[in-house]
Structures are given as structure tokens and as C-alpha cells.
Amino acid sequence: MSAPAIEPKKVAFKLSDRVVGTTDLRRILHELETIDDFLYQANLRPPGTSLPPPKTTKLLADLFEHNGAQILDRRSRENMLTVLKKLAAKAPVMHISFAVEANPVFIEKIVAWARKNINPYVLLDVGLQPSVIVGCNLRTTNKVFDMSLRNRFDTSKYILNEKIEKMGKTGDGNG
């Protein structure tokens, strides 16, 4: 029996799947503030004055691209800053742990699923937990979801017990 499908909310601002957790969000927020400061200072300086441009990552460019905004447009930057600050303060955060370090593509798929099914602005802090071995461990605000294979076996052990009991009875009958 499958759970009733939850319709994804339609949102004006779309958070890129590459922005995974709070670290990424803070980083792009910091980059955006740096760029904003740089452009502001560049406007104040006389023309022809050299000013080293700030280093940015592809994340910020993707974010603007996904939302159809221009990074050079001051209003767009202000809106983006406001949204990002709001997200940094209020976006739901989940901690997900795997046995080994996950590659970006894999994380992106998990994030895409979470933003599609849980919350469009959910942030995933990825961690390591070798004891998980297979599966993952998800921690939300108040709960911990053990999605490891061990837990799956533990919850399904009655099936194995039944099988073993059947085998034992069959063995006793034969013996």
C-alpha cells in the first residue's frame, strides 16, 4: 500500500539541487555579498581604477541561472540576498549520513528527491557514519530515521524467524 502522493508546492524561487546543505548556502550567500560589495565599490571608484574581482563558484551562477536572474542586476542581487538569508534562517535542515563519502551526482539525486517530495527548500547536511554500512541514517528536527539495511533486517526478522521455525519443524519431522 503506497502512501498518498503529496503534490509538490509551486514556488517562485527555485533552489538549485547543487546547493545541498547549509554550508553551500552560506558559501553562496557569502559570495553574493562579496560580489555585491565589489560591484558597489566599483561604482564608487573612478572609471579605469583596477579592482581585483572576487572569486566565485559555479553554484552562485547556477542559482541565478535557475531563477532567470542576472547577477549584475542590483535588484536581482538584493532579492537573491533576501531569499538566501531567509533560507539560511528558516529553511528546514536534515542531516543524512552514509557509510562512505557520497559523490556529488549521488547527493544531487537525493537532494532532488527531497526537494521534490519533502520541501522545495530543504537543506541536506551530508555526513559520514561507517556503522550504517548499507543504506543511510536520516536525522530531522525531532526524529532519527534509521534506513540502514541492518534496521531493515531487524524489522523484518520475523519473516526469517518464521522460515527458520518452518525449517526446524521440517527437520524434526524428517529426523
Q: Which residues bind another protein (CB under 8 A)?
A: 3, 6, 90, 92, 94, 98, 100, 102-103, 106, 109-110, 113-114, 117-119, 122, 133-136, 138, 140-143, 145, 147, 149-154, 157, 160-161
CB of 33 to another protein, least distance (A): 25
CB of 100 to another protein, least distance (A): 6
The SS3 call for residue 58 is: helix
Q: Which is nearer to another protein, 10 or 90 (CB)?
A: 90
Q: Which is nearer to another protein, 68 or 175 (CB)?
A: 175
CB of 35 to another protein, least distance (A): 30
Q: Which three cell numbers stand for residue 15?
A: 533552489
Of 28, 9, 10, the closest CA to residue 18 belongs to: 28
Cell numbers 549521488 label which residue? 106
State residue 135 phi and psi, 5-degree precision. 105, -155
How many of the other CB atoms lie within 10 Å of CB of 152? 13
Element (H, E) at 148: strand 144-148
Q: Which is nearer to another protein, 40 or 113 (CB)?
A: 113
**Beta partners for 129?**
none
CB of 21 to another protein, least distance (A): 15
Q: Which is nearer to another protein, 72 or 133 (CB)?
A: 133
